[in-house]
Amino acid sequence: MEYSALKDEEVLAQLQAGESWAMSVLYDRYARLVFSLAYKILSDRASAEEVVQEVFVKVWRRAGDYTAARGKFSSWLTGIAHHHAIDELRRRRVRPAASEDETATADVMDDGPVPFERAVQSLEHQQITNALQCIPVEQRRPIEMAYFEGLTQQEISEKLQQPLGTIKTRMRLGMQKLRTLLQEPA
C-alpha cells in the first residue's frame, strides 16, 4: 500500500487503530511545517525541535481528539504546535535560558511533505498572509503580537499603550474579518 497517497484523515484513522506506521507518515508530512512555525515563534532551533517532538507525542496520545468536522488535520496540528511554542515562550519569560546558541540557524529538515502538500501549505500560508494585509493595521498588529509573540491581550494593551477594551474589540473585529476573507472563494 502506498501510504503517501492516503488522505490525512485516513492516516489518522489508522493511527487511532494503533498502526504505528501512520505516525511516521504524519511526521514525514508535517514535521517541517511544525518546526517552521515553532522556529518563527521561538527563534531557537533546539527549542523548536523540542516542540516538534512534543507535538507529535501529543498527536500520538490524543489522535482520538481530532474531529474532521471541526477543520482540517493540518489546522488542528498547527494549533497544537502554536500552543506548545507559545507556552515555551512564556516559560522563557519566567525563567530565561542560561545561554542560547546564537549561531543556531534555521536549517530545514530534509524529509518533509511531498511537493503537492508543500504547495498546498504554501498556498494556505499565502492566503492567510494576504488576508492579514487586507485588515486595518490597528486590528492586524494586535493579532500578530498575540499569535507570533505570544503576548496576552493585557500585555498588548500595555505595549501599544491602548485600553484593554480597545485591544479586545480590535482583535475580535480583525479575527471576524479574517474568517470572512478566508472563507470567500478565491
Tell me which residue has cell 484593554: 164
Number of Cβ within 10 Å of residue 27's Cβ equals 19
User: What residue spans of 95-163 are helical by DSSP H?
Assistant: 115-133, 137-149, 153-160
Same domain, yes or no: 122 and 169: yes
CATH number at residue 86: 1.10.1740.10
How far apart, in whole angstroms, are the C-alpha atoms of residue 123 and residue 16?
Answer: 29
pLDDT above 60: residue 43: yes
Residue 127, domain extent:
114-186
97-139 pLDDT tens trace: 554 444 444 444 444 445 555 555 556 667 777 888 899 999 9
Q: Give the pLDDT band (50/70/90) at residue 69.
A: confident
Average pLDDT score, the chain: 81
Same domain, yes or no: 90 and 167: no
Q: How many structural domains are present in the chain?
A: 2
CATH number at residue 125: 1.10.10.10
Strand intervals (E) in 49-186: none
3-21 pLDDT tens trace: 778 888 888 888 888 888 8
Q: Do 141 and 61 contact (CB within 8 A), yes or no? A: no
pTM: 0.58
Same domain, yes or no: 84 and 125: no
